[in-house]
Amino acid sequence: MPQHHRLEPPAPWVEIVATEEDWDAADPALLTGMLGQLLLIRAFEQYVLDLAKAGLVHGPAHSSIGQEGGAVGSVLALAPGDTINGSHRGHHQFLAKALAYVEPKGIDPAGESGPDVRGVLLRTLAEICGLDRGFSHGRGGSMHLRWKEAGAIGTNAIVGGGVPFAAGSAWAHRRAGTGAVAVTYFGDGAINIGSTLETLNLAAAWRLPLCFFVENNRYAVSTGVAEATAEPRLSARGPGFGVASWKVDGMDPLAVHLAMSEAVAYMRSGGGPALVEADVYRYFHQNGPFPGSAFGYRSKQEEQEWRARDPIERLAGHLARRGLFDPADVAAATKRAKDLMAGIGAELLEPLPGDTQGRRRIRPREWPDPGFAHVGVRGDLSEFADARPADRDTFTGELAERKFIDAVSGVMARRMRTDPSIIVLGEDVHRLNGGTNGATRGLKEEFPDRVLGTPISENAFTGLAGGIASDGRCTPVVELMYADFMWVAADQLFNQIAKARHMYGGGDAMPLVLRSKVAMGTGYGSQHSMDPAGIFATAPGWRIAAPSTPFDYVGLMNSALLCRDPVVVLEHVDLYRSTGECPVDDLDYCIPVGRARVRRAGSAVTVLTYLAMTMYALRAAESSGVDAEVIDLRWLDRASVDWETIGASVGKTGRVLIAEQGPMGTSYGGWLADEIQRRFFGLLKRPVQRVTGGEASPSISKVLERAAIAQEEEVAAKLAEMMI
C-alpha cells in the first residue's frame, strides 16, 4: 500500500467572527463613522434605484444595497494613500473610499453633512446619470467610477478585468516605498476568471501588497456559486497560490474591519498579497429595482433571511446596546441622509414640462456637450514640445552600419539610463542574453530591479503594466513575445488600456509601450506569425509605430516612450538581422508622431507600406521597372497617418497600391484604402489597389507559408498590372 502524507498549504486560511466582546471593545468613533457611511451609501443607492425606475438613468444601475457592510468595513481599515478598484457593482466601494478621503476622521451620523460630502454624492450621482459634472463628465456612468485623488482608481464593467490593473497599482506602491497597499474588489463570478487567477499567481510570485477582496454575494447574475464551482468557499483559492486568506461574514461590518485590518497589516509588513472573502447579499437583481425572486432564481424566503442580517440594523443594534446611538437617533440620521439625496437630486432634475403626473427630467444644462464625445481618445502630444525631432535627412550625428536588433536593445538601454521611471517586463526578457531575440540584451545586468521576467500570463502582466501606467509614476515597456499572444491579453489591451483615458474623462495619461514581433516567413506557423496592425488600427486609443530601419527604430521608440498614450511598436523578425545606418552615439532624437518617409521617389504609382514589406516593395519597384514612389508609413494609427505626405504623392501619381504581408481578413489596408478613396477621390485615376496575403494564416511548411503571404513578387506583379 502506498503511503499518504497530508499536504498543507504554506499560506494561512482563517475565518474571523466578531464576538460581542469585539463590539464592546470597538472605538465608538469607528462604529458611528461606519453608521454614517452606511446610511449615506444606502440612501444614495435607494435614490439611484428610484431614478432608474423612473427611466432617468441611461444604462444599468447595479445596486449594492445589502453589500455595504463589506465595503465600509474594509475601506475604513485603509490609509489615504492606499488605492482601490472594483467591478461593475462598485458604487458602495467607490463612495466608501471617496467619503473617507473627504472626511478622514469619520462621518458623524448625528450631524449635517458638510459640503465635501455633499460634493462627493453629487458628482457620483451625476456620473451615474451621465452628466457633465460627474467625475468622468458622464462617460463612465454607473460602472466606471474613478477619482484618483481619493485613491479610487476605477471600477470596471468587464468581470475580473480590473484585477490586473490593481496589481499594477500595488507594484507602483512598493517601488515608491510608501508602504501603501492596493485593494481590488470583485464578486463570486470573477473569482473563476482567468485574469483574476493569473493575477493571484503573479501577485504571490512577486509578493505584491495587493488585497483580493471577494464579495461572495452567491449569484453571478442568476447563476449560483454552487453551480459555478466545486469549492464554494471562494477564499480557498488563496492558499492554492500561496496567498494568505481570510473568510468573514460581510453582513457584519466590524468583522470585516477586523479581517481587513489583519490583511492590511500583513501586506504592509511585506508578507505579500492577501485575499479576503466576505459573504454578502445583494437585495436586488443584477440590475434595476426588482429582487432576484422576481426573476425566479431566488426564493422570497432566502431574501427575507438575508435581509434579517442587514448590516445597518446589526450595527445599529450594537450601538443601541452600548448606549451610543438609540433607534430614534438612527431614524433621524436615516431621514437626514434621504433628505440630503433629495436635495442633491433637485440640483440635477426638474419637473418635466407640461407633465401632470409629477414626472421629472434631467436639467438640460447638466448634459455634456455633444462635441465632447470624442475628446480625449488620445492626448494632444504636448509632451513633445521640448523633444528634439530628427529624420535621416536632418540628422547630423555620426552614423554606422548596425544590425536592427542592436538598435532595439541600444535605444532601450539609453532611455533606461536617462529615465529611471522606465521598466521592462515580459516573458524571458531577463534571460537568454536578451530574451528570445536579443532585444533586451544587457538590460537585466544593468538594471536588475527594472527588468521583470514574468510568468506566462499575458492577461496578468499586460494588465499590471496598464495599472502601472495609469498610476503615472513609471512608464512600462511590455514585450509580448509574438503578436498572436495579443489575443490572449485582448481584454487588457483593448477594453482596459486602450479605453481608459477616454472612458474616465479624457484627462489621465496612459504612458505604456507594447513591443511585439511579426514573424511571417520564419516558419512559426499560424499562431506565431500574425501582423496585428489592422486590429490595432480599429481600436481607439492606441498609437502604432512600425519601424523598418535601425535609424527609424531609435527615433520611433524614443517617441513611443515620450508619448503619454499607449503605443504598440511592431518589430518584424525579418528585420532583426538586417543592417542599416544607425547613430553611433546619439540615440536621443525623436521621429515625430505622424511623419511618414518617402523611401523611393516616383511618378507612376504610390506604394504605401510598412515594416519588412518596405524592403520588398523597394525591390519590386526596381525589378518591375515601374516608376513607383514607395512611402514607408511608420505611424499606422488613424490619428497619426501622414496624410500630407500621402496626398502629395497621390497628387503626382493618381494611383495607389497598399502593400502588406498578412492575411486579407485582418489586413491593415482595408480601412486605409477606404479612407484614401474618400479623401483623395478626385486625384485617383483608378481605385486603390491592395497586395495582401491570402485568407489563411501562414503554415509551418516553407512552401505553404510562402504561398500564404505576400513579398516582392506579388508587389511587382501588381505594379505591372496597374500600369496596363
List the catalytic residues. 528
What phi and psi, each to the nearest 5 degrees, are found at residue 125? Answer: -65, -40
Instruction: State the distance between the two ends of the chain, measured CA to CA, in whole angstroms.
Output: 84
- DSSP assignment of 142-190, as one string? TT---BGGGTEEEE-SSTTTTHHHHHHHHHHHHHHT----EEEEEETTG
Burial status of residue 428 (CB atoms within 10 A of its CB: 0-12, 13-18, 19 or more)? middle
Q: What is the grid cell recorded at 547? A: 519601424
What the block records as the C-alpha cell of 335 is 431621514
Q: Are 558 and 588 in contact (CB under 8 A)?
A: yes
Residue 399 burial by CB count (10 A; 0-12/13-18/19+): exposed, middle or buried?
Answer: middle
Widest distance between CA atoms in the chain: 96
Say how far residue 234 (Cα) sits from the centre of its chain. Answer: 25
User: Residue 490, class by beta-carbon neighbours within 10 Å (0-12 exposed, 13-18 middle, 19+ buried)?
Assistant: middle
As a whole number of angstroms, the distance between CA 664 and CA 70 comes to: 51
Question: 170: closest CA among 460, 534, 505, 376?
Answer: 460
How deeply is 287 buried, as exposed, middle or buried, from its count of CB atoms within 10 A (0-12, 13-18, 19+)? middle
Q: 534 with 668: CB under 8 angstroms?
A: yes
Alpha-carbon Rg for the chain in angstroms: 29
Alpha helices, DSSP H, located in 550-612: 550-562, 573-576
How far, in Å, CA of 384 to CA of 75, rounded? 40
At 720, list the grid cell: 505591372
Q: Is the distance from CB of 215 to CB of 199 less than 8 angstroms?
A: no
Q: Are 251 and 217 in contact (CB under 8 A)?
A: no
CB within 8 A of 339, min separation 6: which ones? none
- Cell matching residue 296: 425566479
Q: 695 near 647, Cβ under 8 Å?
A: no
C-alpha cell at 656: 495607389
Q: Which of 346, 221, 276 is nearest to 93 (CA)?
A: 276
Instruction: Tell me if 291 sits within 8 A of 63, measured CB to CB.
Output: no
Measured CA to CA, the distance from residue 57 to residue 327 in angstroms comes to 33
As separate numbers, helices (DSSP H) first and strands (DSSP E) second, the chain gives: 26, 24
CA angle in degrees (0–180, nearest 5) for 367-370-375:
115
Picking from 245, 216, 211, the residue whose alpha carbon sits closest to that of residue 89 is 216
Buried b (16+ CB within 10 A) or exposed e, 159-193: bbbbbbbbbbbbbbbbbeeeebbbbbbbbbbbbbb
- Whether the CB-CB separation of 551 and 580 falls below 8 Å is answered with yes
63 close to 284: Cβ distance less than 8 angstroms: yes
* Residue 500 backbone dihedrals phi, psi, to 5 degrees: -60, -50
Residue with cell 531577463: 430
Please state, in angstroms and rounded to a whole number, the distance separating the CA atoms of residues 400 and 182.
48
Evaluate whether 691 touches 659 at the Cβ level (below 8 Å): yes
